[in-house]
Structure 1
Amino acid sequence: MTLNKKSSALIIALVLVVVAGTLTYLSQRSEPNSQINNVVSLSANSITFNEVDKLADFAELVVIGYATDEFVDRDHVVTAFEDGTMQSFHTNTNIKIEQVLKKPDDFPENQKELTIIEPVSLLDGTKYTADNYVELQKNDKSVIFLMKNTFGDYGLINDNLGKFSLEETNQLNSLQSFTSQELSEYEVFRNSVLEKYNLD
């Protein structure tokens, strides 16, 4: 009888140790995309425009909208070759559309949500970005220039000069990594976009 009580006590103690260890592990474990520890910018071979009118003519879809999720919570896609070398990366970003400024004929008149592709992604705490692209910020209403790819998905074009925040405070916070020259170029381009679409 004593042996059974000791065995039961030992089993209960072991179970408690295992449960405590599991809870500690789970509480300390972070999801692969839960934080950004490192940023790697890679060169991309993309078409860029230095004039708003040319960008607006080239874009198939121009909307005022905002990302609905935090960057770390979005669908990050990274593909690799057989040898493990990175092949491509992007993020599928869900946006809410508040206004359509330009659209192709086949774009639904009353569409209010869209998943777009951004040239940035997150893998194991490292953010990979094309040409220092800074992702759309959650709830930051912006003018977004888009083009449909060969798979029928809309992707943001013109890198950092393909989206322009309508809220100056949010815009400055998201562009902290820009050089003074890049900030100046962005500001000039942004003012031209606001003027073109009568948003100032």
Structure 2
Amino acid sequence: MDAKYIAFDTIEELDQAADVIVIGSPIKDFEDREHMAQYFEDGMIQDFYTMTELRIEKVIKQPDGIDIGEMMEFIEPLCIIEESGNQKTKIIMDDYRELKKGSRYILFLKDNTFGQYSIINMNNGKFNLDNTDDSDMPMEQQDLAFKTSLKNQVLRKYDLY
């Protein structure tokens, strides 16, 4: 599904827009996470997301209450829904790719109106730090060049080399 969202092209913009910046690892496989979907009365999907639990390794930017070693939940813009006949379908927003269990990421999160955090800037609001998630980098050359440039800005700014 296509989505409209605010895109950030530099680390300064991304940093300023984020309420929380953390480094951590998801603790569950994608299929085992809490998948949420809301439907209109006619059965069409109104909203969807996945709640992902993250073990916090480092806090870079935060409001009070997020500590190293603790778990936090945040929203990823994709979901698994169960359709008739127990068929499972993955719904993805703007080619977003989920975080992999045990892989290490820096995440840029924003508080929504319901008091939950969600990834901002879609795939460019998360960066795999330990090179264990091949799907974190785009396939198309133009997108790959942009994400690589943004990731390098992130690594330099937060001294993560």
TM-score by length of 2: 0.91
For 1:162, the equivalent position in structure 2 comes to 125
Question: Is residue 72 of structure 2 the alignment partner of residue 114 of structure 1?
Answer: yes
* Contact 1:175-1:183 at 8 Å conserved across structures: no
Matches of residues 75-94 of structure 1 in structure 2 within 5 Å?
75-94=34-53
- The structure that has the greater radius of gyration is 1
Out of 146, 149, 152, the residue aligned to residue 188 of structure 1 is 149
CA distance in 1, matches of 2:79, 2:97: 10
Distance change in 2, residues 1:84/1:56 (3 Å): same
How far apart are 1:47 and its partner, in Å? 1.2
Which amino acid is the alignment partner of residue 146 of structure 2? E
CA distance in 2, matches of 1:152, 1:178: 34
Out of 171, 174, 188, the residue aligned to residue 135 of structure 2 is 174
Distance change in 2, residues 1:75/1:142 (3 Å): same
How far apart are 1:180 and its partner, in Å? 2.1
Distance change in 2, residues 1:160/1:110 (3 Å): closer
How far apart are 1:126 and its partner, in Å? 1.3
Which amino acid is the alignment partner of residue 52 of structure 2? T
Distance change in 2, residues 1:142/1:160 (3 Å): same
Matches of residues 6-155 of structure 1 in structure 2 within 5 Å?
42-104=1-63, 106-109=64-67, 112-124=70-82, 125-155=88-118
Distance change in 2, residues 1:66/1:110 (3 Å): closer
Unmatched segments (≥5 aa) in structure 1: 1-41
TM-score by length of 1: 0.74
* Contact 2:56-2:68 at 8 Å conserved across structures: no
Q: Name whichever structure is richer in strand by fraction.
A: 2
Report the RMSD for the aligned CA atoms in angstroms: 1.5
For 2:85, the equivalent position in structure 1 comes to none
Q: Secondary structure at the match of 1:183?
A: helix
* Contact 2:18-2:110 at 8 Å conserved across structures: yes
Q: Name whichever structure is richer in helix by fraction.
A: 1
How far apart are 1:111 and its partner, in Å? 6.3
Q: Name segments (4+ residues, structure 1) moved above 6 Å.
A: none
CA distance in 1, matches of 2:66, 2:135: 31
